[in-house]
Amino acid sequence: MLAAVIVLAAALGEALGRLPADAATAAALGEPPRRPWRRFLDALARSVAVLTTAVTAMVATGGAPAAAVVTALLPLAAAPITAAPLLGAPLRLGLLAWCAVRLLDVTTPLAAATGLVTGLGVWAALGPRRIGATLRQTGRDTVSVLAATPIVVPACVPLLVGLTLAPWELLRRCHHPLLPPPAPPADPTGALSIVYLDGVGKTWRPPTRVARELIAELRTAAPDARFVTDVLPYSPLQAPLTDRPGSGRAWRWLRRRAFGMLVGRNILQTVVVSDARYRDAFGAALAGAIAAALDRAGHRPGDRVALVGYSGAAVVGVAAADALAATLGGPVVVVSIGGYLDGRVLPRSAVVHHLAGADDRIELLGRAMFPARWRVTRNSAWNRAVRDGRVVLHRVTGSRHIGPSGYLSGAPGGPDGASHLRRTAGLAAGALKLDQ
């Protein structure tokens, strides 16, 4: 009886750890939405089948008592934390290594290997998964986590809790279709629609003051363009935190007294996008919201679309570009202003113009964390895209991420006396002209 309870606890933890990623993968592939409880029961049944088969194989091969083998798998009950983006793959690897060490204390190496191979076989048979892609993602995420260790460790407990909870909003969005039906291809009209996605301080639908000032500068360079500013880039549900039933009052209190908590929540959503398990679904959800906003603004088939994203919004904008291009049936251009892009997956149907200053420490952190951005990884997706012209780098001299010298600051920032904001807007407008 105790062995059955332990197997169920381990399977329950493992199923909860995989649930958001499985839902995101299914939604990104266009599978019909399913009720949450049915998806959970399927994941639980699969975990029970895998663990039961592996335990049976180890007991039969090694002659160890079933209770001792099952108890060694108990760390898997903590597997819900593996839903955390970026940290999830290294955490899952750590839990499995912990289980392996415990198993070697109660059974033989041959029995442990037999159980591992048998479990993997059942896992693959019950649902096709790309083992090689999973291993590569685990390796990349582990390197990224190690690179960020000096920042992650001091705040590891609240960060781990926040990351574990971060994908669950996307899970709620995956219960419904992510994208509208794709529009048929249309002849280019020459018109331009610019969608501005604001930085991680964006917590409500109306444009912020900085957004209004940037759009005013862009409107000078592109007077005939159509502007869209009412998209919430960090919410797959497109629901402002402060207006949500139940939790809205708490978020409003935090906005007045601890605004950094809302900013931190939005930053965690950009980490969700950086995880390969969630990227496609999050991008499709955001692309659906952008397509709806463009339709409200009068966008017509054949109009060019530019996504201008500042800081974390550039991360989610890059993730949404391909899905948006497929939905609209036309080209999409992405302009990243100081975005801390991971560089692992880039749009296939869009050019990314990346504006960054040498003194931008936040963008430099993105370069340091993600191996795809390192110069030594010459064959990474990012470096290949730079060589092929799919990523165009623009240096913003003298500008930083935020503050008086920030990209969107109104303070003078150059020898000509122009503000940082005007120089950034001029570079963004020039990038858009390059792709006409």
The pLDDT of residue 29: 72
The pLDDT of residue 150: 54
The pLDDT of residue 316: 94
Residue with tokens 């800081």: 311
Does residue 144 surpass a pLDDT of 70?
no
Confidence of residue 178 (pLDDT cuts 50, 70, 90): confident
Beta bridge partners of 227: 194
**Mean pLDDT of the 276-297 span:** 91
Beta bridge partners of 228: 195
Q: What is the pLDDT of residues 346-395, one digit of tens each?
A: 888 889 999 998 889 889 888 888 888 998 988 999 999 999 999 999 99
Q: How many CA atoms lie within 13 A of 126 on its CB side?
A: 17
Break the chain into its structural domains and give their ranges.
2-157, 178-434
Asked if residues 97 and 104 have their Cβ atoms less than 8 Å apart, the reply is: no
Q: How many CA atoms lie within 13 A of 57 on its CB side?
A: 20
One-letter amino acid for residue 30 of the chain: G
CA-based nearest residue to 314, from 178, 164, 431, 223: 431
Beta bridge partners of 419: 412
Q: Name residues whose C-beta falls within 8 Å of residue 60's C-beta, 6 or more positions apart in sequence.
A: none
CA distance 144 to 142: 5
Does residue 258 surpass a pLDDT of 80?
no
Q: What is the pLDDT of residues 204-253, one digit of tens each?
A: 788 888 889 999 999 988 888 899 999 999 988 888 888 888 777 888 88
The pLDDT of residue 242: 82
What tokens were used for 180? 């509208």
Residue with tokens 């083992």: 131
What tokens were used for 42? 């399927």
178-434 has CATH 3.40.30 classification? no
CA distance 74 to 51: 11
The pLDDT of residue 385: 93
Does residue 128 surpass a pLDDT of 60?
no
Q: What is the pLDDT of residues 313-357, one digit of tens each?
A: 999 999 999 999 989 888 899 999 999 998 887 888 889 999 998
Q: Name residues whose C-beta falls within 8 Å of residue 123's C-beta, 6 or more positions apart in sequence.
A: 46, 50, 129
**Mean pLDDT of the 3-10 span:** 82
What tokens were used for 419? 């503000």
Q: Name residues whose C-beta falls within 8 Å of residue 326's C-beta, 6 or more positions apart in sequence.
A: 179, 182, 349
The pLDDT of residue 145: 58
How many residues are present in the chain?
436
**Mean pLDDT of the 174-186 span:** 75
Q: How many CA atoms lie within 13 A of 86 on its CB side?
A: 25
CA distance 108 to 114: 10
The pLDDT of residue 216: 92
The dihedral formed by the CA atoms of 150, 154, 160 and 163, expressed in degrees to the nearest 10? -60
Does residue 64 surpass a pLDDT of 90?
no
Asked if residues 129 and 137 have their Cβ atoms less than 8 Å apart, the reply is: no
CA distance 272 to 279: 7
The dihedral formed by the CA atoms of 216, 217, 223 and 227, expressed in degrees to the nearest 10? -50
* Mean of pLDDT over the chain: 82
CA distance 80 to 294: 37
Q: Name residues whose C-beta falls within 8 Å of residue 258's C-beta, 6 or more positions apart in sequence.
A: none
The pLDDT of residue 195: 95
Q: Name residues whose C-beta falls within 8 Å of residue 361's C-beta, 6 or more positions apart in sequence.
A: 400, 401
The pLDDT of residue 415: 61
